Each structure stands twice: as structure tokens, then as C-alpha cells.
Amino acid sequence: MRLTSLDPRITARIQALAKTKEILAYRLYHYKTFEGDATNGKTLENSISYFSLAVGQEGTGYEDTNMPRPNSIGSGNAMWVQSIRSIVLPAKNDASPFLKAIDTNAIQKSIINDVAKVLNRGVITIKQQSQEVFKVSPISLIPTGYGVIPPQITGETALSAGLPLNSLPLISNGFPVELWLENEQTFDFTLQFETPVVIYNTFRFGFILEGILVRPRIVG
């Protein structure tokens, strides 16, 4: 976690707020379900918004997001976002995550192939007050801290021997950014696919904004 920003205005703002506010390491997250079709495949939406729902909206809970307000950090709060991570998770109702048998005659319909298609595509854009402040492609440039290690890395030959690991050092670093969010200032986080992406499996895909949160001190 950095204590000095490339933007001197952010450093000065953090130092000023630290005198009266609580400062802590924090992560904003939002995970969405990508619905597949095991038989015919299903095309993902070409534009998907993240961080646009607060906890409790449209049936979301803390397993989906921790956003206090749609598209903002909330009144009285500020956040210095220092990195962005992507994350792939099993579907909520998946009773055997990462343990599915893979049909070797239909590798193109395997969940590993679906995830690879998503990670190797996509344009991520962040706007503040309608002004673009971040754009990158593909998603794989934004590392994930959770995923399946291909069997070739572990020395196995069977495709089904992929090993799920959390916080793998090689991929647990995020994509560095300098983004300042404060009060009700809005931001838009969008994932876009410029050509169709068809998936056969259902899984969750999300993003994490990691940095330093500034909030009112809790007195007690």
C-alpha cells in the first residue's frame, strides 16, 4: 500500500483528512453472474456496468458487493484507489466448484475455456463525472488473486487437473492506478466486449478496487 501518490494533490488531501478522519486499507468489490448455456452457448452482454448497485439493491448482498451508494463512495467518505483486480468465482449455486469433469471431446465448452475467452477480451473503462480517467484491454492485464492454475504449470497432463489457488503470488498483484473518490462524486466502471463472447458455463466475474479508505472516526 503506497503512502505517497504520483499526484501531489492526493497526497496533500490524505494528509489533511488524516488529522480528523479514520484511515484504513480497504477494498471495494462487485461480482456479477455471467449466465451460460451448456448446450448452445450464450452471448454475454456487450456492455456491463460494475459498482453501480449499493448493497440491498436488486437483491444484492455482501456476497455481491460492498458499495455504500450506487457509483459513489458515499457522503463523508473518500477513497484513494491504488490498484484494480479482476476475479473469477464459481456460481453461487454451484455445488462442485472447480471439480467438474471435463468432456475431452468438447473442450471448447469447458469452464476453463470460457474463463480464458473472457480474460483475453474486454475493454475496461472508468469515468469520473463523465470524464474518462482509465481504459485498458484485455482483462488479463488486470491480474486476479484467485483462479485455476493450468495443469501444465503443476506438471500434470490431464486438463481436469487444474489447481484452484487463492492469492497466488505471481498473479495477486493488481493493475496500478491513481484514482481519488470523495463524497457523492460519481464514477462509472464499465466492461465492454467489442465483438460477441459466447460462454457455456455459469460463473461470477468481478472487480476489486483496492486502496485507502477515509471515513469519519467511530467514537465509542
Q: Would you place residue 150 in the very low, low, confident or very high pLDDT band (cuts 50, 70, 90)?
A: low
Nearest-angstrom CA–CA distance, 114 and 197 = 9
Burial (0-12, 13-18, 19+ Cβ within 10 Å), 6: exposed
Structural domain contains residue 2: no
Structural domain contains residue 144: yes
Burial (0-12, 13-18, 19+ Cβ within 10 Å), 113: middle
Structural domain contains residue 71: yes
The counts of H helices and E strands in the chain are: 3, 12
Structural domain contains residue 126: yes
Q: Would you place residue 3 in the very low, low, confident or very high pLDDT band (cuts 50, 70, 90)?
A: confident
| pLDDT for the residue 217 | 82
For residue 99, the enclosing domain spans 8-216
**Domain total in the chain:** 1
Structural domain contains residue 1: no
Residues 101-142 have pLDDT tens digits of 445 555 667 777 788 888 888 999 999 988 898 998 988 888
Structural domain contains residue 96: yes
Structural domain contains residue 3: no
As a whole number, the mean pLDDT across the chain is 82
Structural domain contains residue 189: yes
DSSP 42-95: EEPPSEEEES-S-TTGGG--TTTB--SBTTB--TT-EEEEEEEEEEEEE-TT-S
The angle at the Cα of 9, spanning 51 to 212, to the nearest 5 degrees, equals 45
Q: What is the pTM of this model?
A: 0.81
| pLDDT for the residue 117 | 84
Query: What mean pLDDT is predicted for residues 29-54?
Result: 95
